[in-house]
Amino acid sequence: MSKKDHGPPHKAPRRPKTKRLEPSAPALRILVASGVNLDLLGQRENDHYGHATLQDMEEQLRAQILTLGTTIDLTFFQTNDETKYLDILIQGWDGAVLNPGAWTHTSLALADRLAAIKLRFVEVHVSKVMAREKVRQHSFIAPLALGCVSGFGIDSYRIGLLGLIAAIRI
Ligand code: DQA
């Protein structure tokens, strides 16, 4: 019996062309702002603040965002000048991680500004402020924050960032 001619060798059905991806959503612009004396992190009162520096914190956050499926544009900022701290808040951020240092406990101006611009932010502290002196147990900005993270060393920033991103995504 002759071999039946089945025509040309069987071709696998063509795969539909890969759909072009939608242009990706714009990156979330997030500010990470540290206030007065946080430039001294790593050298100051290690019992409260540990040995890690702001540079270590920045590296940790940059590593963390690589593990997330969201494009995030992080801006790190530190100043000992309260005016500069107030000014950077209004630059159209999608959210912010704020550690204002001592201004947390003193600055009605900071709270007024945050209330006015309706910036979504998480308040973070390296030390466990609620377990420290009474004056540190009051925060002018806490009532406006999405949440507060305190006491985890520089990890407070990373945890705060994750909380902020989760809140923004909802
Ligand atoms: C701080 C706590 C503040 O009380 C203090 O004034 C700081 C640092 C913290 O990160 O633990 O400067 O914000």
**Which residue has the least CA distance to atom 13 on ligand 1?**
101
Task: Tell me what the mean pLDDT of segment 67-94 comes to.
Answer: 95
Ligand 1 mean position, distance from CA 4 (Å) = 85
Ligand 1 mean position, distance from CA 58 (Å) = 17
Question: Is 125 a known active-site residue?
Answer: yes
Q: Which DSSP letter does residue 109 get?
A: H
**Which residue has the least CA distance to atom 8 on ligand 1?**
101
pTM here is 0.86
Confidence band for 24, pLDDT divided at 50, 70 and 90: low
Between 19-28, 39-48, 71-80, the lowest mean confidence (pLDDT) is in 19-28
The DSSP bridge partners found for residue 30 are 74, 95
Q: Token pair for residue 14? A: 């063509």
In short, whether 167's Cβ falls inside 6 Å of ligand 1 is no
Q: What percent of the chain has pLDDT over 90?
A: 79
Instruction: Tell me which of 32, 82, 104 to substitute to probe ligand 1's pocket, judged by most ligand atoms within 8 Å of the beta carbon.
Output: 104
Q: What percent of the chain has pLDDT over 70?
A: 85
Average per-residue pLDDT for the chain: 89
CA distance 69 to 155: 20
Question: Is 85 a known active-site residue?
Answer: no
Q: Domain boundaries in the chain?
A: 31-169
CA distance 89 to 13: 56
Domain 31-169: CATH architecture, name and number where available = 3-Layer(aba) Sandwich (3.40)
Higher per-residue pLDDT: 70 or 136: 136
Ligand 1 mean position, distance from CA 150 (Å) = 9
* pLDDT at residue 16 is higher than 90: no
pLDDT, position 15: 52
* pLDDT at residue 85 is higher than 90: yes
Catalytic residue among 6, 10, 49, 51: 49
| pLDDT tens for each residue of 99-139 | 999 999 999 999 999 999 999 999 999 999 999 999 999 99
Cβ density class 18-52: b for 16+ within 10 Å, e for less? eeeeeeeeeebebbbbbbbebbebbeeeeeebbeb
Q: Token pair for residue 64? A: 């963390």
Confidence band for 25, pLDDT divided at 50, 70 and 90: confident
